[in-house]
Chain A
């Protein structure tokens, strides 16, 4: 059974700091991995999708890496801003045909 774990559960950083969010998964037989952002009271916004054959994806100040063999992914946020404050969720697609989510990392960026 696929299990997804995210560390840390919560993170508070000053504005401008670079930071790394971690995600690990137990079954390396995945099709892809996605990072989502969730703002309070709102749905999920897809940030980055990494196919199983890829090592990383970049979008603006965000960079996500994937090491499928070790079951790990990281989301790197450069030059963090208060507007980055949200919960970040990692999810993997496996052969069950559904996304399996981690519990999320709640990020607070202080001005």
Chain B
């Protein structure tokens, strides 16, 4: 597709349940990022994938959070045993390469997670 696609757009779940959020990056983009945006807050980095390299997981807030990227394309962010503080908008972005220069990230519309 033309942009970064995320699903579901909205997810309401009960505390303690597991959730999976999906990101389909722009075709050919080798770098993929997950960010979290809590109410009234800026974007918080979670995890970064670059090609076949080991992902940078330094932003994951706890071991309940994990992510994988299959075939260098689609990525899934999994949150186990969800807590109310996990409620946020989860944004995915992709870029052509590791964006340390002029490359810009293209963001998806996000997945809004509400944990009751």
Contact = CB atoms under 8 A, between A and B. Distances in A.
Decide whether A and B assemble into one complex: yes
Interface of A: 4, 6, 31-32, 34, 36, 41-46, 49, 51, 89, 91, 93, 95, 97-104
Tell me the interface secondary structure of chain B in the complex.
loop
Contact of A43 (B41, B42, B108): B108
Interface residues of B, number: 26
A100 B58 CA distance: 13
B105 A46 contact: yes
Tell me the interface secondary structure of chain A in the complex.
strand
7 contacts: A31-B101, A44-B43, A45-B107, A46-B104, A97-B99, A99-B105, A103-B42
Contacts of B4: 43
B40 interface: yes
Nearest to B33: A98
A92 to B, nearest CB: 12
Contacts of A49: 102, 104
Most B Cβ at <10 Å: residue of A34, A45, A89, A99: A99
B52 interface: no
A73 to B, nearest CB: 15
A3 to B, nearest CB: 10
B109 interface: yes
A31 B40 CA distance: 27
A50 to B, nearest CB: 11
A98 B108 contact: no
A104 B100 contact: no
A104 B37 CA distance: 11
Contacts of A101: 35, 42-44
B14 interface: no
A10 to B, nearest CB: 10
Given A43-B4, A43-B108, A99-B43, 18 more contacts: A4-B42, A31-B100, A31-B101, A42-B109, A42-B110, A43-B107, A43-B109, A44-B91, A49-B102, A93-B100, A97-B98, A98-B33, A98-B45, A99-B33, A101-B35, A101-B42, A102-B42, A103-B40
